[in-house]
């Protein structure tokens, strides 16, 4: 087959005598396991188990998998909101010790302060960090320009659409010049056409800034469109099932046939994963109809894995 789906290639051995050390990974997870208590019992389960992952500087990485497979847990470990029970999370070779301004998280809920204008929201993080007023203003305006919200700088969050709020949240995050953006299903609550616009905006922002991005989603469509590399996760315990390089240039168009092939291939893999979940949570005779995951009643092709499973 000619499609660009390739499993991660094994590194070629360096030619003798010309060894150039590879740049250190931006983020490295080594044998990471995170457990939680099951309900109120003393029993614990692994939300993620034995995860090995390297994230390169400037890479756009997507974590994809069904609900509950540990995507947010992995992101929270990188953000420093959680600590691993086993293994370690290293950022540029140093173990993560708590949250830091170099790693900002953007959630599904924009988290803008309702009592501040868009401009004040974008300035807020810089104010907390003691950036002088004039510089704050200048940087905030620059960021608003990047996300095309200059005209709405004096609006309050309630006056904005969902997509505009998320763009303001992205501008606010970028204003403090983090090295990394950690995004946890940031567009999941938006309607499909707004999401489409934000995909295009995020791609163009990323091409301009080349920040390292870790993007969590349960939408395969979103993952293959945006990411350089897609990490497909399996659940219970949460672990990495497969890593796929998307060898296509940015920006990518939604209707690119090469993306459709990649989507189909990843979905086929996840169909297996969902069948496993349903067998565990349903009767033994449960099985998934061929193609059942791909179509919504209205005929629209659905490349997400649903929230409820
Ligand atoms: P995802 O983001 O892929 O939907 P999560 O990382 O949120 O998955 O969760 C993975 C598993 O860990 C789920 O079974 C979830 O219920 C559980 N979990 C997540 N956070 C906590 C927590 N703080 N306490 C207990 N269980 C948790
Ligand atoms: Mg989650």
DSSP per residue, 157-191: GGGS-HHHHHHHHHHHHHHT--SEEEEESTTTTS-
Q: Which atom of ligand 1 is nearest to the CA of 75?
A: 6
- In the chain the domains, ranked by start, together with CATH numbers, are 25-102+178-255 (3.40.50.300), 113-177 (no CATH)
Q: What is the pLDDT of residue 214?
A: 97
CA distance 218 to 228: 16
Low-confidence ranges of the chain (pLDDT < 50): 1-9, 294-302, 306-309
Residue 63 Cβ inside 6 Å of ligand 1? The answer reads no
Residue 69 Cβ inside 6 Å of ligand 1? The answer reads yes
Question: Facing residues of 48 across strands?
Answer: 34, 238
CA distance 81 to 97: 9
Q: What is the pLDDT of residue 289?
A: 61
Q: What is the pLDDT of residue 5?
A: 47
Q: The pTM is what? A: 0.85
Nearest ligand to residue 108 Cα: 2
Residue with tokens 């050390």: 21
Residue 67 Cβ inside 6 Å of ligand 1? The answer reads yes
- CA-nearest residue for atom 15, ligand 1, is 68
Residue 4 Cβ inside 6 Å of ligand 1? The answer reads no
Non-local (6+) Cβ contacts of 73 within 8 A are 34, 47, 48, 82, 238
Non-local (6+) Cβ contacts of 257 within 8 A are none
Ligand 2 centre to CA of 108 (Å) is 9
Q: Which of 32, 36, 236 to mutate to test the pocket of ligand 1 (most atoms within 8 A of CB)?
A: 36
Ligand 2 centre to CA of 150 (Å) is 31
Helices (H), the chain: 71-79, 118-128, 133-146, 162-175, 192-209, 220-226, 257-281
- CA-nearest residue for atom 14, ligand 1, is 68
Q: What is the pLDDT of residue 1?
A: 41
Residue 108 Cβ inside 6 Å of ligand 1? The answer reads no
Residue 58 Cβ inside 6 Å of ligand 1? The answer reads no
Q: What is the pLDDT of residue 16?
A: 58
Residue with tokens 């080594």: 30
CA distance 102 to 106: 13
Residue 41 burial (CB < 10 Å; 0-12/13-18/19+)? exposed
Tokens encoding 79 = 């953000």
302 to 105, 116, 132, 246, 307: CA distances (angstroms): 27, 37, 47, 20, 12
Q: What is the pLDDT of residue 165?
A: 95
Express each pLDDT in 130-184 by its tens digit: 999 999 999 999 999 999 999 999 999 999 999 999 999 999 999 988 999 999 9
Q: What is the pLDDT of residue 279?
A: 73
Do the strands 239-246 and 229-234 form a parallel or antiparallel pair, or are they unpaired? antiparallel
């Amino acid at each position: 087959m000619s499609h660009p789906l390739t499993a991660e290639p094994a590194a070629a051995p360096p030619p003798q005598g010309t060894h150039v050390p590879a740049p250190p990974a931006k983020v490295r997870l080594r044998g990471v396991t995170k457990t939680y208590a099951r309900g109120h019992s003393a029993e614990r389960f692994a939300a993620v188990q034995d995860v090995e992952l390297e994230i390169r500087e400037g890479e756009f990485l997507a974590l994809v998998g069904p609900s509950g497979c540990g995507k947010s847990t992995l992101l929270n470990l990188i953000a420093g909101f959680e600590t691993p029970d086993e293994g370690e999370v290293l950022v540029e070779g140093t173990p993560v010790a708590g949250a830091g301004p170099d790693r900002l998280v953007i959630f599904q809920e924009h988290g803008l302060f309702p009592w501040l204008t868009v401009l004040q929201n974008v300035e807020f993080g810089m104010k907390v960090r003691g950036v002088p007023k004039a510089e704050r203003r200048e940087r905030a305006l620059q960021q608003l320009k990047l996300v095309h919200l200059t005209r709405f700088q004096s609006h309050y969050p309630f006056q904005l659409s969902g997509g505009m709020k998320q763009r303001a949240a992205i501008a606010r995050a970028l204003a403090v010049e983090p090295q990394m953006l950690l995004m946890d299903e940031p567009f999941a609550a938006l309607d499909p056409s707004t999401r489409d616009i934000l995909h295009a905006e995020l791609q163009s922002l990323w091409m301009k800034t080349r920040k390292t991005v870790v993007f969590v989603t349960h939408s395969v469509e979103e993952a293959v469109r945006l990411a350089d590399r897609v990490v497909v996760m399996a659940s219970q315990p949460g672990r990495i099932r497969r890593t796929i390089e998307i060898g296509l240039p940015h920006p990518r168009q939604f209707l690119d046939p090469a993306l459709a092939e990649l989507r189909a291939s990843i979905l086929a893999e996840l169909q297996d994963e969902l069948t496993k979940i349903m067998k565990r949570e349903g009767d033994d005779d449960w099985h998934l109809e061929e193609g059942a995951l791909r179509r919504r009643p209205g005929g629209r092709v659905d490349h997400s894995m649903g929230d409820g499973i």
